[in-house]
Structure 1
């Protein structure tokens, strides 16, 4: 008795293990979104660009400090039999080894302008990174919805084929009993075969859609899984300014920064310098030619052919173009959001009628199935009822998929 219990326990454990192995793993939409973000090299690229911009800001700050350089040069101009360079000019030879220090006294505003430009660049990179995330999520969600719809179609076709096969066995026996004609049985058999072909086509379509989902998400493990129905909700716009308007704000800040840069180019420049070391012609007491010097340079623009005015005119044209694009986008954006909301509302209005049609079609199949068992129904009428139910289910499925994709579009643009 004891051995029987042990054997039974082992058998149950083996069955449980086999059931667990046979069961398809489950994946959700969030799993694919995380996988896509982790696999995409684009986000690492933007992260590196942000770091590079941070290094640019450090370089700009370093350029504001005194710049120290070392330099050395030597020269020898021989005079052979009276031929050669004039020694009054060349001294015949020269050697210098110097340590130079330069410092721009009026560079603070220029450095601040350069740092502001780098900050605008980082904001632009941050915007592009976020836009890439939104685009990737939108594409993944769309493809996930498509793959889930294909999976749902496979499951529905499989259930329908199982139902028809069950009825086919009964109809075959009724045909042998001369309750139904051979032609009616063949009509039903053709319908069954068509549904089996539809099931195979649905499975192929699901494999294709599922492979595309894995491709977009960068998934290397293409083991077939069970997709969970996506749950999408309308995301409300929380921010005061829409996300897509930030690109126009960034472009506007770029123009302002360029205008300030042009103005700074026409301001006076003052720098001081100093050097110390060895500088000698090597002619008279070269061992005493160690020394130092200090000085300054000052420059102020006076006339350049009105280039400053021309550059401002170019910036004005750029601002006018940017304003036109901003206004056009805002109009199109508002129209697009209104259109998507209307389409969602119209789609919601279909559900009541579709569900009612499905309920009636399913009820008709149940009644016809009972009549079919007694031989009181034409097979053609039963096939017609099945086709009506199939059409209603397909309409419901397509309507649901369309609504999910509309919600995905709305959430994308409603930022």
Structure 2
């Protein structure tokens, strides 16, 4: 992409803080609501939006600087002089130079002329800065969305673990009532029942630990988006994002390097413009006199006007040094871009392989979980008739619980990989 093309393409303005949708609840439960609130409350996005507004003001300020500038200058300077009896000066400046004093009240107007090249380049630099700021805002918004999404998935996994722990505790309590009757009927000994009773109490502790873990992760999520709420609510299951291809050269991360190239080109043009002759118009009107007597002051009113010319001649080869500095910056930019492009492609391929591996793992876990669930049901039936030992039943239940936990983690990891792919596809 050429610099001219990059300058002509104006990316959509995504920095202005979007107003909060009226449907956003005070205690959100959906991932899109959390992302919307994070964008609304983010001081970083608001800061970048303000910088974009400042960039527009800088353009207006540069336009004003190219107009007529009027300044008022005033001075009242007296040069005392002492003479001897012969009239010779003893102390004081030479009267031929000072005329005894200087009294000035002048309004001066100046305006640069024949500076279209410099003015055009300055406007392009300001426009480039605006594009960089808008692109930075898009990157910041993407990073914020990724951070909120990761924390949402962590909190949702903690919620899923809590739900499973509560469900398992409910089953154990139901089984506990049945085992008490079997112990009273003499089918199981009291010591066997105590092992099961201990498992129920252990599961109650596990439920409380899961609840604390979910409360902690939910609080972290709310703190990230700026929601002041402590209620323990249920999060809705996040939908899997669409699988999109890797973003191209117009993606914000890639566009940043294109804009950097454009800025280096404009900086080089600014160096060229700096070494062109500069012409300005100057005019003044007012009072200039060498004495403060009314007669002389009344006859010292006047006007003047003319041109100023500045021609660079020699500055110690600073121009070539600046060119070399810009060339080194361009080499650095190209190196970063090559590395980023290869890194993003590698990350995308790795995430795709992780998603495929997660799909295969989930299929295996679900099949094993189906078998384990059937075994738990059969063992529960045999337990009520005394055909299986309580410890054997607990071992089967523990295996089932381990598989369920593995399923929760695998589903969360798969969603995290999918959302990471979605982030790369837009970044």
Residue matched to 1:396: 407
Cα offsets for 1:130-181 (capped at 9, x unmatched): 1111111111111111111111111111111111111111111111222112
Supply the distance in 2 between the matched residues of 1:91 and 1:122 (Cα, whole angstroms): 55
Contact 1:26–1:226 (8 Å) recurs in 2 = no
TM-score (norm 1): 0.90
Cα offsets for 1:180-211 (capped at 9, x unmatched): 12232122222222211211111111111111
Q: Does 1:144 align with 2:152?
A: yes
Cα offsets for 1:254-311 (capped at 9, x unmatched): 1111100100111111112111111112377431111111121222222222221111
SS for the counterpart of 2:315 is coil
Supply the distance in 1 between the matched residues of 2:110 and 2:335 (Cα, whole angstroms): 46
SS for the counterpart of 2:82 is coil
Residue matched to 2:336: 325
Contact 2:138–2:252 (8 Å) recurs in 1 = no
Supply the distance in 1 between the matched residues of 2:158 and 2:234 (Cα, whole angstroms): 11
Displacement of 1:332 in angstroms is 0.8
Query: How do 1:62-81 and structure 2 match up within 5 A?
Result: 62-81=64-83
Cα offsets for 1:210-266 (capped at 9, x unmatched): 111111111112222111111131352576533211111121111111100100111
SS for the counterpart of 1:227 is coil
SS for the counterpart of 1:295 is strand
Cα offsets for 1:395-414 (capped at 9, x unmatched): 11000000111112111222
Contact 2:128–2:259 (8 Å) recurs in 1 = yes
Cα offsets for 1:309-347 (capped at 9, x unmatched): 111111111111111111111111100100001100110
Q: Does 1:364 align with 2:375?
A: yes
Contact 2:249–2:255 (8 Å) recurs in 1 = no
Supply the distance in 2 between the matched residues of 1:294 and 1:210 (Cα, whole angstroms): 73
Structure 2 runs not aligned, ≥5 long: 1-26, 85-90
Structure 1 runs not aligned, ≥5 long: 1-24
Supply the distance in 2 between the matched residues of 1:304 and 1:94 (Cα, whole angstroms): 36
Contact 2:278–2:311 (8 Å) recurs in 1 = yes
Contact 1:344–1:406 (8 Å) recurs in 2 = yes
Equivalent of 2:353 in 330, 342, 346: 342
Residue matched to 2:281: 272
Paired residue total: 391
Equivalent of 1:289 in 300, 323, 342: 300
Query: How do 1:174-253 and structure 2 match up within 5 A?
Result: 174-237=182-245, 241-253=250-262
Supply the distance in 1 between the matched residues of 2:225 and 2:315 (Cα, whole angstroms): 56
Supply the distance in 2 between the matched residues of 1:216 and 1:115 (Cα, whole angstroms): 38
Supply the distance in 2 between the matched residues of 1:286 and 1:150 (Cα, whole angstroms): 89
Residue matched to 1:38: 40
SS for the counterpart of 1:337 is helix
SS for the counterpart of 1:27 is coil
Displacement of 1:78 in angstroms is 2.1
Supply the distance in 1 between the matched residues of 2:258 and 2:248 (Cα, whole angstroms): 15
Supply the distance in 1 between the matched residues of 2:108 and 2:240 (Cα, whole angstroms): 66
Q: Does 1:306 align with 2:330?
A: no
Supply the distance in 2 between the matched residues of 1:136 and 1:229 (Cα, whole angstroms): 20
Residue matched to 1:21: none
Residue matched to 1:257: 266
Contact 1:371–1:377 (8 Å) recurs in 2 = yes
RMSD: 1.7
Displacement of 1:85 in angstroms is 2.1
Contact 2:28–2:34 (8 Å) recurs in 1 = no
SS for the counterpart of 2:268 is helix
TM-score (norm 2): 0.88
SS for the counterpart of 2:92 is coil
Supply the distance in 2 between the matched residues of 1:206 and 1:244 (Cα, whole angstroms): 34
Query: How do 1:401-412 and structure 2 match up within 5 A?
Result: 401-412=412-423
Equivalent of 2:62 in 60, 63, 67: 60
Query: How do 1:88-99 and structure 2 match up within 5 A?
Result: 88-99=96-107
